[in-house]
Amino acid sequence: MACVDRASTPPVTILIVDELQIFRDGLRLLLASDTRLQVVADAAGEPAATALVRDLRPDILLLGSLPSAAEPADMLRRLAAAGLPVRTILLVKSINAPEIVAALRFGACGVVPKDAHAATLFESIDAVTAGVYWIGERVNSDLPAMIRRLEHARNDAVRFGLTRREVDVVRGVVTGESNHQIAVRLGISDNTVKRHLVNVFNKVGASNRVELALFAVHHRLMDE
């Protein structure tokens, strides 16, 4: 955490968006323990959040749960459409929630489960500020490496040894479908979907569906 030229480095500015004021106030204090970070504002949700992104142009948007179960992905999509991209870290209940993938497609750069250690949150902010994806609870060196490695690969699913059916399953993951929704769409059982996913994880080297979706989007597997 030590920083030799701290005086000359401007702080990382952060906007906190979460429906719970108790959480926002506490999180502000938590982040204040790192002097390189500066929480510039907080909001419960839209429309305040969008206005604050526009006015304050924060380096990082910490995005938790929104009122009325609004989807973070929808908010990010609107921000992107308004020409207000912001590096976003999602604070999520579970890393494997299907809707997280959608948020990643609309520009989220990090996903941190709420049951992670506070240290993880600080590390994720460092990583995302440095332009690296952060997925999960630990330093995830696999993901950037995987993305780099795969940038040289051809954009075909066959390259990764995926069957047509496996690509169908991956398509569901990318669009944010649950296993059950995929099963219904393909007319197969939930367990078969799970088995396909395990095989796909092994083939592409992903360890959860978020990584898989990033991988797929990055490699345009769905464009086949």
Partner 1 sequence: MAPQPMEHSSLTAAVAPCPLRTTAAARVVIADDERIFRASLRRLLELSSSTVSAMFGVEIGSGFDVVGEAGSGQETVEVVQSTHPDLMLLDVCMPRRSGLEALRELQRCDQPRHTIILSGALDAEQLVTAIQLGARGVVRKDAPTELLFAAITSVIAGASWVDQRLTSDLLDAVRGLGQLRHAASALPFGLTRRETEVVALVGAGCNNREIAQRFAVTEETIKHHLTRIFDKVGAANRVELALVAARHGFVN
Chain contacts with partner 1 (rule: CB under 8 A): 6-8, 11, 19-23, 25-30, 32-33, 35, 38-42, 56, 91, 93, 112, 114-118, 121
Nearest distance from C-beta of residue 96 to partner 1, angstroms = 15
CB burial readout 27-42, b (16+ within 10 A) else e: beeebeebebbebbbb
Find the helix or strand (DSSP H, E) in which 52 lies. helix 48-56
CB of 50 or CB of 192, closer to partner 1:
50
CB of 23 or CB of 201, closer to partner 1:
23
Among 31, 170, 40, 144, smallest CA distance to 91 is for: 31
Nearest distance from C-beta of residue 49 to partner 1, angstroms = 15
CB of 19 or CB of 168, closer to partner 1:
19
CB of 21 or CB of 155, closer to partner 1:
21
Find the helix or strand (DSSP H, E) in which 110 lies. strand 108-113
Among 116, 67, 70, smallest CA distance to 89 is for: 116
Nearest distance from C-beta of residue 21 to partner 1, angstroms = 5
Nearest distance from C-beta of residue 163 to partner 1, angstroms = 36
Nearest distance from C-beta of residue 27 to partner 1, angstroms = 5
CB of 60 or CB of 197, closer to partner 1:
60
Taking the CA atoms of residue 38, residue 43, residue 48 and residue 54 in that order, the dihedral angle to the nearest 10 degrees is 20
For 13, which DSSP code? E
